[in-house]
């Protein structure tokens, strides 16, 4: 029977008195400085799956009869841990990492330092496991491993800052796993599963709260500190920041953040200090972004995203040879005319003249700076530009609304040649248009017209916002409503197109 703790066992000894004669005393190594929330113990009738060619740091335990179902995660764990170590360039701090597959665990995971637990169905894999669940098993394991650094090696000073744990864990759940499994397209699925879910969750004023939200006690009933804001929006903010400063600068800054604050408590200020150190004080590794950020402060930029609730809608207006960009807080509820909240927004863009979706660092970008022109900006545009798209590859947490003629030109482009627009922007255009219509900022005729191109859509990613958006419309109609049958038939037709597309992909 294993007796496990954050660190290894040093000695087991029998009780040395009559009172303790049937007891066994277990002595463990001394831990490094550790938050009380990271301490873990386990005593149970579990077995470790032997794996002679596996990493000697990771160990996976389960009930004896279930060992064959943890073989997949036992063999995957070393690569997942090594990938994180390589990405952040910080070695795992403990001599071992024990992973437990526990039945009926109250939560999907529990991330103790050196000793973490999963719900069995989160990591069990056998010959009958669906492909989706195999992906989730590996991602869940990577999420727990990320917590060994973000939450254990460095710990938020208080519950106000849980996103420093949960945001990084969700980020690496996708992007570190993507390093191990590049064919899984996790960058794309991050957008539809995390970013678009943030945009949905955070557009209702009843649910909005800042990432860094003052919390008097951990049991505060006003909101869940581990909700979609902390997890999903935290990760989306980090992805946005990565695309603003570049991958290499992002990695270096995360390394500085961890090494400077190891075995200590942190606030967002510590993270922004690390990014300031890398992006501004050193030579920027990504010159295009480095130069556009040069007169800014990470604290000033990022605090608009962590200390303010919600997110902006960027409104594009065409005037002669320029595009005028303004921003407002976005909500599907009744807008508050007195809300003057503004964000620092760095938006990349492309047009039909360039169709450059490959690299958000090399594409043209524009700053919407709250301290300059009330957060507005102008972009020059040639007369021959038919359509333009802001927020290339959907990296920024915002929605974008265009003049009607640009929406119509984009729809025409999608109908004629959808592949000319990056798949993430196809998904973005669908999601934005449906939710702008829901908020009363756009006629529903635009997203309806956009669905005409779907007969030519050969990727599953844009179908997620399609079905989510139109299901929302259908769910809010009573069967007795005029037009309910037409909307239901329309959604069924879309589902049929999607099914046939997936069926062809499987056949190929």
Annotated binding-site members for Zn(2+):
147, 166
Return the ∠ at Cα 464 (arms to 459 and 469), rounded to 5°. 135
Cβ contacts of 351-355, under 8 Å, gap ≥ 24: 351/381, 351/385, 351/386, 351/387, 351/388, 351/389, 352/385, 352/386, 352/387, 352/388, 352/409, 352/413, 352/420, 353/382, 353/384, 353/385, 355/420, 355/421
Tokens 């390589």 -> residue:
86
The DSSP result for 377-405, as a single string, is EEEE--TT---EEESGGG-SS-EEE--HH
DSSP-derived pairing of the beta strands 47-48 and 264-266: unpaired
d(CA 128, CA 218): 41
Structure tokens at 508: 């190929």
Alpha carbons 77 and 57: distance in angstroms, whole number? 9
112: Cβ contacts below 8 Å, ≥ 6 apart: 6, 38, 39, 40, 152
Closest of 372, 391, 485 to residue 432, by C-alpha: 391
> In what order do the strands lie in the sheet containing 115-119?
47-48, 58-62, 97-102, 115-119, 109-111
DSSP assignment of 101-151: EETT-SSSEEE-SSEEEEEHHHH---TT--HHHHHHHHHHHHHHHHHTTBT
Dig out the tokens for 140 from the structure.
């869940």
Cα distance between residue 10 and residue 15, in whole Å: 16
Length of the chain: 508
Half-sphere exposure of 193 (CA within 13 A, CB side): 13
Structure tokens at 421: 């627009």
Q: How far apart are CA 444 and CA 435, in angstroms?
A: 9
Instruction: Give the sign of the dihedral formed by CA 326, CA 351, CA 457, CA 496.
Output: positive
- Alpha helix positions (H), 336-462: 404-416, 423-438, 445-450
Binding residues: 147, 166
């Amino acid at each position: 029977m294993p007796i496990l703790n954050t660190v290894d066992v040093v000695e087991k000894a029998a009780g040395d008195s009559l009172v303790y004669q049937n007891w066994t005393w277990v002595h463990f190594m001394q831990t490094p400085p550790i938050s009380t929330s990271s301490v873990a113990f386990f005593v149970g009738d579990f077995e470790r799956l032997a794996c002679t060619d596996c990493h000697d740091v990771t160990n996976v335990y389960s009930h004896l009869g279930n060992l064959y179902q943890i073989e997949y995660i036992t063999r995957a764990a070393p690569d997942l841990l090594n990938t994180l170590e390589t990405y952040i360039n910080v070695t795992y701090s403990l001599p071992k990492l024990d992973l437990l597959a526990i039945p009926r665990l109250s939560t999907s995971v529990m991330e103790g330092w050196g000793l973490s637990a999963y719900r069995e169905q989160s990591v069990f894999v056998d010959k009958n496991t669906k492909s989706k669940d195999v992906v989730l098993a590996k991602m869940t394991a990577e999420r727990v491993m990320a917590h060994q650094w973000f939450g254990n090696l460095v710990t938020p000073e208080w519950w106000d800052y849980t996103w420093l744990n949960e945001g990084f864990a969700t980020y690496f759940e996708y992007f570190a796993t993507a390093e191990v499994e590049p064919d899984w397209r996790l960058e794309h699925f991050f957008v539809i599963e995390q970013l678009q879910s943030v945009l949905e969750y955070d557009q209702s004023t009843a649910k909005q709260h800042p990432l860094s939200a003052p919390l008097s006690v951990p049991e505060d009933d006003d909101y869940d500190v581990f909700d979609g804001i902390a997890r999903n929006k935290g990760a989306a903010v980090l992805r946005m920041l990565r695309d603003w400063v570049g991958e290499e600068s992002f990695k270096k800054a995360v390394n500085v953040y961890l090494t400077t604050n190891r075995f200590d408590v942190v606030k967002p200020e510590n993270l922004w200090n690390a990014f300031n150190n890398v992006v501004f004080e050193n030579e920027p590794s990504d010159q295009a972004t480095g130069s556009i950020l040069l007169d800014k402060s990470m604290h000033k930029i990022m605090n608009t995203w962590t200390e303010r609730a919600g997110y902006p809608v960027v409104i594009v207006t065409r005037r002669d040879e320029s595009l005028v960009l303004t921003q407002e807080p976005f909500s599907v509820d009744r807008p508050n005319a007195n809300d003057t909240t503004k964000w620092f927004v760095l938006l990349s863009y492309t047009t039909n003249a360039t169709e450059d979706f490959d690299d958000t660092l090399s594409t043209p970008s524009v700053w919407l700076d709250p301290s300059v022109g009330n957060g507005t900006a102008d972009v020059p545009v040639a007369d021959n530009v038919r359509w333009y798209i802001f927020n290339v590859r959907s990296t920024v947490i915002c929605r974008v609304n265009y003049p009607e003629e640009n929406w119509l030109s984009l729809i025409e482009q999608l109908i004629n040649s959808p592949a000319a627009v990056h798949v993430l922007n196809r998904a973005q255009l669908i999601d934005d248009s449906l939710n702008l219509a829901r908020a009363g900022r756009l006629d529903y005729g635009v997203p309806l017209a956009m669905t005409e191109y779907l007969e030519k859509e050969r990727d599953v990613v844009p179908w997620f916002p399609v079905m989510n958006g139109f299901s929302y419309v259908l769910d809010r109609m009573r069967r007795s409503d005029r037009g309910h049958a037409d909307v239901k038939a329309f959604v069924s037709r879309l589902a049929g197109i999607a099914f046939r597309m997936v069926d062809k992909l499987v056949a190929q």
